[in-house]
Amino acid sequence: MSGAAPEVLVLGAGAIGLYLGGRLAASGVQVHFVGRPRVVEALRHRGLSCVGLDGQIKRLEPTKLRLSTEVPPGIDPALCLLTVKGPHTEAAAGQLAAALPAGNVVLSMQNGVDNLARLQRGAPRLAALAGMVPFNVVQISECEVRQTTDGHLAAQQHPLTQAWKPRFEEAGLSLRLYEDMRAVQWAKLILNLNNPVNALSGLPLREQLLNRGFRQVLADLQGEALRVIDAAGLPLARVTPLPTAWIPRLLRLPTPLFRLLASAMLRIRPDARSSMYDDRQAGRPTEIHDLCGAVVRLAQHHGQSAPLNQSMLRLIEQTAQQSFLTAEQLQAALHESGSPG
């Protein structure tokens, strides 16, 4: 391990942190990972393997990894990637605020639309920027992560992200810069509304998306969210080949037609699941308040309601973690408790 100052600090050595940090490290960037003790311990013994969508493995031996369980005080990275789940943002922001010099840039690669504000509140002297990961990564073990779907990373247009763009691309991480990341985050949130559907279905993503009933549930949640976003006057960026607003229509098509027209959406490894499924199975807090919860809060803020997203939030919180629902059961449960009257 080289003694040079780290260029990138990754806070949250999980699926996304290990994949992004691992690919950057494999391309020669000095990366320091902060993770939970069990993960750090395993990485110290077994190293890290990052498997790309093409199946290529980037392998980092234990001696090549810089690891700790806390943010090292006085560390001064050029860039910090925040890759913890939403419920852990506040604590992570506190750790960063205590350890990093004022003005350091922290790029949140998290889902949802509220993490940037949490980060700014918890670490007001740091420069918080929004990023977005469009693809799915599964953590097969503490030491192995695998990209299972396609897409380009997104980040706020800023001199630092501009400077880092070529380094990301050298690491095989295509990065697009946007002036309005809020529009990107809301568009991603629309796609992420599949996370609770997947978690409650108990099925791998591909199999769940090939079930028309589950697609209809997703289309209903997305249609409601799109109406709320439209009423709030928020713009939506285009993060998929199809404009975001057309996706519910695509989802409602009969399966043979959907299979034909949505081939890009179905380019998923057959065993991949949403990480909300994993979180429920492990009894960890989920990001449901950052997804359906954000739609409900936006609706309330604009004098609207979002009964289906409200019901989905409640279902995720109240359904026993080992229980799964068929598409018909899910549809009935959402519409039963989600009817506005």
Nearer to ligand NAP, 40 or 247 (CB): 40
106 secondary structure, DSSP code: E
Provide the minimum distance between the beta carbon of 26 and ligand NAP in the complex, in angstroms, as a whole number: 18
- Contact segment (CB under 6 A) with ligand NAP among 59-67, 77-85, 226-234, 324-332 equals 77-85
> Residue 286 is which amino acid?
T
Can residue 111 be called a binding residue for ligand NAP (CB under 6 A)? yes
Q: Could you tell me how many residues of this chain bind ligand NAP (CB under 6 A)?
A: 28
59 secondary structure, DSSP code: E
Nearer to ligand NAP, 126 or 137 (CB): 137
Q: CA-to-CA distance for 302 and 52, rounded, in angstroms?
A: 42
**230 contacts: CB under 8 Å, gap ≥ 6:** none
Quick check: 131 and 107 in contact, CB under 8 A? yes
- Please select the residue that binds ligand NAP; options are 27, 68, 95, 321, rule is CB under 6 A: 95
Can residue 308 be called a binding residue for ligand NAP (CB under 6 A)? no
> Residue 154 is which amino acid?
A
Question: Angle 62-273-239 (CA atoms, 0-180°, nearest 5)?
Answer: 95
Q: CA-to-CA distance for 91 and 291, rounded, in angstroms?
A: 20
Number of CB atoms found within 10 A of residue 238's CB: 12
- Contact segment (CB under 6 A) with ligand NAP among 47-55, 103-111, 162-170, 299-307 equals 103-111
Nearer to ligand NAP, 70 or 328 (CB): 70
Can residue 287 be called a binding residue for ligand NAP (CB under 6 A)? yes
Quick check: 228 and 304 in contact, CB under 8 A? yes
Can residue 91 be called a binding residue for ligand NAP (CB under 6 A)? yes
Question: Tokens 């070529």 correspond to what residue?
Answer: 166
Quick check: 101 and 174 in contact, CB under 8 A? no
Can residue 83 be called a binding residue for ligand NAP (CB under 6 A)? yes
- Please select the residue that binds ligand NAP; options are 6, 21, 22, 35, rule is CB under 6 A: 35
Provide the minimum distance between the beta carbon of 254 and ligand NAP in the complex, in angstroms, as a whole number: 29
Residues that bind ligand NAP (CB under 6 A): 12-17, 34-36, 39, 83-86, 88, 91-92, 95, 109-111, 133, 136-137, 139, 275, 284, 287
